[in-house]
Amino acid sequence: MKLKQRLVVLCAVLLLLGLVKVFLLDGGEGTAAGRRDLRAFRKMESSLALVKGAQLTHTLQSPWEVAAQWVGPREVYPDDTPELAAVLSALATARVERADVGYKGTQLKALLVLDGGQKVVFKPKRYSRDFVVEGEPYAGYDRHNAEIAAFHLDRILGFRRAPLVVGRFVNLRTEIKPVATDQLLSTFLKHGNNSCFYGKCYYCRESEPACAEGDVMEGSVTLWLPDVWPLQKHRHPWGRTYREGKLARWEYDESYCEAVKKMPPYDSGPRLLDVIDTAIFDYLIGNADRHHYESFQDDGGASMLILLDNAKSFGNPALDERSILAPLYQCCMVRVSTWNRLNLLRGGVLSSAMRQATAHDPAFPVLTEPHLAALDRRLNGVLATIRQCIETQGPDSTLIEDRMDLPHP
């Protein structure tokens, strides 16, 4: 056989092997990695529904001690968490010992301390479920139900990088005001028969308070991460400028990812793939506001990108902001485990899983049907983007085997 013919045959074999890899991965069952990911998916499915009002019965530890022990360099909670329902139930019902203005930021929140000394962040309801936030994809107030839905999406995707969140109803008159600091109390007011507060933050205004229905306010409660895991803040390499007429480099330079790959911590370790996972997560929830992100301190780039502050999500179910996916389509790489999980969520499985995961949350229904449909539609967009990368540069360059299962300290 002539050299030219041998090269043609070799190229054909390599192409066939690549197509086989894509086919097997697309099905999620044909490789060892695919079978492993399928088992993890089935395990997630079986633990998705949470029992309302669950309590810890087999341990003398508090719910807060249990949750604190879950945290590791690469996960906020493990894949096997039979106590999760009990911890969320405690978050939704534990007595409030102290209430203060929220930590620094642009949006209204309150810092609560629950029975046993556990700090949580309370974000109040600002919109009805079917309200559509118009304008820029990062417009509007924080959405408390978005925090709840984002936590459960983190569970469904198998990332396990989001702090625990649950819906909660608090009575401002009997639960909050008696234990509130003077700083928080000074921001309370009445609108008719409704109790309101406006807190302290960059955009907090007395003219724009959050109001309860009577004295009872709906909101979300986010579990504060343990103090033994201090956070480090990073500027997101694909952050927006938030200035009209001024573009960030990634918005006009299609080779921008190559520059990012040369910068620490993206030049080695799992961080760049975490950024791409986060882009997929943010696109699904419609979050175009991740200008910074947090990891654990002194991690040498090995810590996960923690999925904090997801409340600028689920604002407009009709808007699919493709620019959120820029890290994915500019770098054209994604974890094999993420690709496999996304394929297992096709055909309405994602929205069905979200319904099941949130069915027993105190703030149910967490999402409206248009937002659930948007999850399935956006998932198809993510899969199409990855397939396009596979077609242009091949599966070996696109689908990256990277499983950073670091042991707990």
Residue 396 counted as an annotated binding residue: no
Say whether 274 is catalytic.
Answer: no
> How would DSSP label each residue in 252-302?
T-TTHHHHHTTSTTTTSSSHHHHHHHHHHHHHHHT----SEEEEETT-TT-
Question: From the candidates 277, 289, 361, 376, which is the catalytic residue?
Answer: 289
Question: 223 a known binding residue?
Answer: yes
The reply, when asked if residue 107 is annotated as ligand binding, is: yes
Q: Do the annotations mark residue 402 as ligand-binding?
A: no
CA 360/CA 148 separation, integer angstroms: 12
Residue 352 CB contacts under 8 Å (≥ 6 apart), including other chains: none
Query: What does the block give as tokens for 263?
Result: 């910068």
DSSP at 96: E
Does the annotation flag 294 for ligand binding? Answer: yes
Q: What is the DSSP letter of 175?
A: I
Rg of the chain's alpha carbons, rounded to an integer? 22
Task: Count how many residues are written for the chain.
Answer: 409
CA-to-CA distance for 211 and 194, rounded, in angstroms? 6
Task: In whole angstroms, give the CA distance from residue 237 to residue 291.
Answer: 8
> How far is Cα 18 from Cα 12, in angstroms, rounded to an integer?
10
The DSSP code for 210 is: E
Question: Would the annotation count 222 as a binding residue?
Answer: yes
Check the annotation: does 224 bind a ligand. yes
Q: Which of 387, 392, 266, 377 is nearest to 327 (CA)?
A: 266
DSSP 72: B
The answer to whether 101 and 199 are in contact (CB under 8 A) is yes
Q: 365: which 2 tokens? A: 């229904």
- Output the known binding site for Mn(2+): 142, 309
Cite the active site residues: 289
- Output the known binding site for ATP: 107, 123, 222-225, 294, 309
- Output the known binding site: 107, 123, 142, 222-225, 294, 309
